[in-house]
Amino acid sequence: MRTTRAGLADVARRAGVSPATASRVLSGSGPASPASRAAVLAAAEQLDYRPHPVARQLAGGSGSRVVFAVRDERADILRDPFVTRATAAMAAALLPYAMGVALRHVGLDCAADLDELAGDRGLAALVLAGHDRAMPAALPPRLRGRTAVIGAGGADVDSAAGVGVLLTHLYLLGRRRIALIAGPAWLAASAAPVAAYRELTRSAGLPARIVRGDFTSARGRVAARAVLRRWPDTDAIATVSDATALGALQALAGLGIRVPDDVAVTGFDDVPLASAVSPALSTATHPVEEIAAAAVRSALGEVVPVTLFPSSPVFRATA
Amino acid sequence: MRTTRAGLADVARRAGVSPATASRVLSGSGPASPASRAAVLAAAEQLDYRPHPVARQLAGGSGSRVVFAVRDERADILRDPFVTRATAAMAAALLPYAMGVALRHVGLDCAADLDELAGDRGLAALVLAGHDRAMPAALPPRLRGRTAVIGAGGADVDSAAGVGVLLTHLYLLGRRRIALIAGPAWLAASAAPVAAYRELTRSAGLPARIVRGDFTSARGRVAARAVLRRWPDTDAIATVSDATALGALQALAGLGIRVPDDVAVTGFDDVPLASAVSPALSTATHPVEEIAAAAVRSALGEVVPVTLFPSSPVFRATA
DNA sequence: CTGTTAGCGCATTCAC
DNA sequence: GTGAATGCGCTAACAG
């Protein structure tokens, strides 16, 4: 049993080449003859060589961790199901990179926080969520090229299409007075669903009933009550988050309104327990794991195709 | 504007001491005279010095990331609400350490995986969840002292007391035929709640009705149906996970059984949406953020008091 | 208590 | 295509 792990020097020696050559073939960059390439690979195999991630990061100057910065008014956004799920997904995606993710909250006015992050030499990349339209352009120079964004303009779900399908479904169900509990106005990602809603209601000749929410169920309760107070004949409520939808369901239950008989409800995101509530929530499911992984890879400099991720409707009991 | 960040050498030069002394005071370890300490601190302040985490980790040989390994039969345990929440909490707790967390699943038989982790020189610490009783003792030597465990024997919630309070509550509600949907038998953390249940039913002269579940709502549905088939007069179902409880609620709804009138139900953990379902779930809330932070700190070698974290009942609508 | 001397393990200039 | 130096930024061992 070897007491200490084989290093690059050991591999090089065994392969009969210099450490530089060994480094070139093992790190995949730089020229190398087929012969020495094979020798190095074989030696690495035999010695069970594993590069030392930290040394590699120091020498390469790349930093060792990804920071996931979530912008929101509330600090407890870090407990939001979407945030925890995305964080876990990044943590899983970073495993093969020998890196990890750190999580932090930043307020709506976060220029100073971003500057601080820009000065962190241990930072490999930054993933940002909760941005508004102006932020990506206002990033500190040092962060440029190593920042990815989750939501509008970055790794994003096709929320316009997703909400569109849900709204269409409600329409086909015979609903004609559909309200939307939208996301907060300061959030860039809020725009697409609202646009989709406006477009569909306009073209179908339906009234537009929009109320702002956030991503909490408490706000969903309040918003649903507001909707029914203002437009008592509402027969469907679409939302842009499951938490909001569940809050709305509670409000409706409290008002003695039957779901979906009197009012249909749709969520968005398909949180883990959306299928486990009763009535089970109709919503749209999103590949959050893939989105988070794409964001991480993009932030780390890989070129990932900038496609919108699909939003697939899941029709359960509430709509 | 300085084009490159101040390094330790710059600080030392400005403070009129050697880099070694500067390192000693800035890293907090090693002796230093009050005079040079003050000088170094002042210089660091003026230069806005930030240590380079990666260099520090390389020189110190400490590794740069924490791996959270979750042991379970299913690979999609990584999407479990508790796991994602704990992962996010660790990611947040690691921010000040300039480290990050990576997430990985390991199967029930994970000796090989642990060996592989032991060979990773970038690993600062390991946090393990889903262990059985034998695992902590069977850890590879290299992992010793830098591994912490979440659940029985490590950073754990006082689940015996927590379940005990819930059961007592059910008893005080007049329930006398209380079933328990327990955790999987291979899990060390499953033991305490079962013991508490057995103790309480025995001392109160109640029948013991135990069924095994896991942490999915699907299994909760099945288990609840099994309970009612086997003991049709059951008037309460206690569980050890909210997902299980929500599954049970669905099963009961499907059978036309009223909650809590006919059968009361309790969950465990207070997932974000437990309060947002209707009927709202009675459960116990746990400081997962603190637990995860304690696990991380412990794994990194800090001495954290080994206390059980409190389990606080939250009585809502289902019990 | 302090400075000097060596590395930590690898990537990357350069010459050859 | 290859090897010999040099450096990444800091900590740790030693001698003073």
Token digits of residue B72: 């379970």
Is the CB of residue A50 less than 8 Å away from at least one CB of chain B? Answer: yes
Q: What is the pLDDT of residue A1?
A: 46
The phi, psi pair for B237, rounded to 5°, reads -125, 115
Sign of CA dihedral B217, B219, B225, B227: negative
> CA of A191, closest CA in chain B: separation in Å?
26
CB A92 within 8 A of CB A102: no
Residue type, B178: I
CB B136 within 8 A of CB B149: yes
Per-residue pLDDT 10s for chain B (319 aa) are 456 789 999 999 999 999 999 999 999 888 999 999 999 999 999 999 999 999 999 999 999 999 999 999 999 999 999 999 999 999 999 999 999 999 999 999 999 999 999 999 999 999 999 999 999 899 999 999 999 999 999 999 999 999 999 999 999 999 999 999 999 999 999 999 999 999 999 999 999 999 999 999 999 999 999 999 999 999 999 999 999 999 999 999 999 999 999 999 999 999 988 998 888 999 999 999 999 999 999 999 999 998 899 999 999 999 9
CB B286 within 8 A of CB B311: yes
Residue type, A10: D
Q: Which residues of B26-59 are buried (b: 16+ CB within 10 A; e: fewer)?
A: beeeeebeeebbebbbebbeebebbbbbbbbbbe
Query: What whole-number distance in Å separates Cα of residue A273 and Cα of residue B217?
Result: 8
Q: DSSP of B191-221, one letter per residue?
A: HHHHHHHHHHHHHHTPPPEEEE--S-HHHHH
Q: Is the CB of A287 under 7 A from strand D?
A: no
pTM above 0.75, yes or no: yes
H helix or E strand, kind and range, residue A24: helix A19-27
Q: Phi/psi class of residue A281: alpha, beta or left (left: φ > 0; alpha: ψ in -120 to 50)?
A: beta
Sign of CA dihedral A143, A145, A150, A154: positive
Q: What is the pLDDT of residue B100?
A: 98
Residue B53: its chain A contacts at CB < 8 A? 64, 120-122
Counting one residue from A and one from B, how many pairs have CB atoms under 8 Å apart?
Answer: 195
**Collapsed DSSP state (helix, strand, coil) of residue B227:** helix
Distances (CA, A) of B294 to B93, B112, B145, B147: 9, 27, 15, 12
Tokens 């059910």 map to which residue? B170
From the list A66, A79, A84, the residue facing B100 with the nearest CB is A66
Is the CB of residue A83 less than 8 Å away from at least one CB of chain B? Answer: yes
Distances (CA, A) of B188 to A26, B69, B71, B307: 42, 15, 11, 17
Residue A271: its chain B contacts at CB < 8 A? 273
Residue A58: its chain B contacts at CB < 8 A? 54-55, 58
Residue B3 CA to D6 C1' — how many Å?
22
Token digits of residue B296: 């991380």
Q: What is the pLDDT of residue B276?
A: 85
Query: What whole-number distance in Å separates Cα of residue B120 and Cα of residue A51?
Result: 9
In this structure, how many other beta carbons lie within 10 angstroms of the beta carbon of residue B191? 16
In this structure, how many other beta carbons lie within 10 angstroms of the beta carbon of residue B108? 12
Nearest nucleotide by C1' position to the B27 CA atom: D11
Residue A78: its chain B contacts at CB < 8 A? 88, 92
Q: Which residue of A has its CA nearest to B287?
A: A79
Nearest nucleotide by C1' position to the A54 CA atom: C9
Is the CB of residue A102 less than 8 Å away from at least one CB of chain B? Answer: yes
Token digits of residue B77: 């345990």
Q: Which residue of B has its CA nearest to A55?
A: B58
CB A248 within 8 A of CB A224: yes
Nearest nucleotide by C1' position to the A56 CA atom: C10
Kindly report whether the peptide bond that precedes residue A279 is cis, defined as omega within 30 degrees of 0. yes
B180 forms bridges with which residues in the sheet?
B210, B238
> CA of A116, closest CA in chain B: separation in Å?
10
Q: For A309, which DSSP code?
A: B
Residues B216, B222, B225: CA angle, nearest 5 degrees: 140
A103-123 residue pLDDT tens: 999 999 999 999 999 999 999
Residue A243: its chain B contacts at CB < 8 A? 272-273, 276
Tokens 């993933």 map to which residue? A127
Residue A36 CA to C6 C1' — how many Å?
32
Q: Is the CB of B23 under 7 A from strand C?
A: no
How would you class B271 by CB atoms within 10 Å of its CB: exposed for 0-12, middle for 13-18, buried for 19 or more? buried
Nearest protein residue to nucleotide C8 (CA to C1' distance) is B59
Q: Is the CB of A21 under 7 A from strand D?
A: yes
Which domains are present in chain A?
A: 8-51 (1.10.260.40), 65-155+288-311 (3.40.50.2300), 159-285 (3.40.50.2300)
In this structure, how many other beta carbons lie within 10 angstroms of the beta carbon of residue B234? 21
Q: Which of A208, A211, A214 shows the shortest CA–CA distance to A186? A: A214
Q: What is the pLDDT of residue A3?
A: 65
Nucleotides of D under 7 A from a protein CB: 1-5, 7-13
Answer yes or no: do B54 and A52 touch at CB < 8 A.
no
Stretch 177-236 of chain A: residues touching chain B, C-beta under 8 Å: 217, 220
Q: Which residues of A129-167 are buried (b: 16+ CB within 10 A; e: fewer)?
A: bbbbeebbeebeebbeebbbbbbbebbbbbbbbbbbbbb
Token digits of residue B146: 């830098």
Q: Is the CB of A301 under 7 A from strand C?
A: no
In this structure, how many other beta carbons lie within 10 angstroms of the beta carbon of residue A21? 20
From the list A50, A253, A275, the residue facing B121 with the nearest CB is A50
CB B318 within 8 A of CB B264: yes
Distances (CA, A) of A24 to A20, A36, A57, A60, A277: 6, 10, 15, 13, 55
Answer yes or no: do A92 and B102 touch at CB < 8 A.
yes
**Collapsed DSSP state (helix, strand, coil) of residue A125:** strand
Answer yes or no: do A79 and B121 touch at CB < 8 A.
no
> How much is the average pLDDT of A235-241?
98
Residue B85: its chain A contacts at CB < 8 A? 79, 84
**Collapsed DSSP state (helix, strand, coil) of residue B230:** helix
Is the CB of residue B66 less than 8 Å away from at least one CB of chain A? Answer: yes
In this structure, how many other beta carbons lie within 10 angstroms of the beta carbon of residue B229? 9
> CA of A204, closest CA in chain B: separation in Å?
33
Residue B141: its chain A contacts at CB < 8 A? none
End-to-end Cα, chain A, rounded Å: 63
